[in-house]
Amino acid sequence: MSEPRDILPEDEIHRGPPMTVSRYGPGKRLNHWITASCLILLALSGLPLFHPTLFFLTRLFGGGQNTRMLHPWIGVVLFFSFFIFFAQLWRANLPVRVDVQWTAQIGDFIGGHEDRLPELGKYNAAQKLIFWGMAFFIVVLIASGLVIWDQYFENVTPIALRRAAILIHSICAVLIILLFILHVYAAFWVRGTLRAMTRGSVTGGWAWRHHRKWLKELAGRGRIDQAK
């Protein structure tokens, strides 16, 4: 019997006590933090290039020239880092029918009445939205960024295209910053979530409350360690 698409190789229930559930392996956690660090560095280096009032941020990178030089290279690292992550998780983030119902009842989620929500797999609709939003914006940012990377592509891109690329790049940069802030806020707001990306596991109670279908699938398929 094939595994459901939202069950990954490292997903496993540990009896404890206390009972915990493995959610992310060391490689995925490292990749996540590299991606997050790149997003922060790109925001700090990109904002001073966006508006002169924020030029003081270039001091963090040793001045304006260093900032202009480092910014696109950090973007390249972000692109490859995120899409290694993307290749591992895209199937688990595909929309399913229950996501529509969850979205319609998002007020219950915000209000803390998750007992009224349908049982979920590894990710809810909001997590999937952030995942696919990040993927979309990163693709657009790397494509538009290459067009305006003067050091390598100034002589092969027409001025009109570069002007359009600057506008698109700026808009998408603002939107991905807002999406990143939403992601960070949700990680702290839903207590116990951040642990998944620091320790790699969540508590059994957290899994039962937020992703009960995923937990039941792990148990039903015998994804339980043999520790006593």
Active site residues: 183
Q: Using omega within 30 degrees of 0 as the cis cutoff, is the peptide bond preceding 17 cis?
A: yes
* DSSP annotation string for 52-102: GGGGGGGGGGTSHHHHHHHHHHHHHHHHHHHHHHHHHHTGGGS--HHHHHH
Cis peptide before 48 (omega within 30 of 0): no
Q: φ and ψ at 46, to 5 degrees? A: -85, -35
Q: Do residues 118 and 102 make contact, with C-beta atoms less than 8 angstroms apart? A: yes
Contact between 93 and 124 (Cβ < 8 Å): no
As a whole number of angstroms, the distance between CA 133 and CA 131 comes to 5
The first and second tokens of residue 25, run together, are: 């392996």
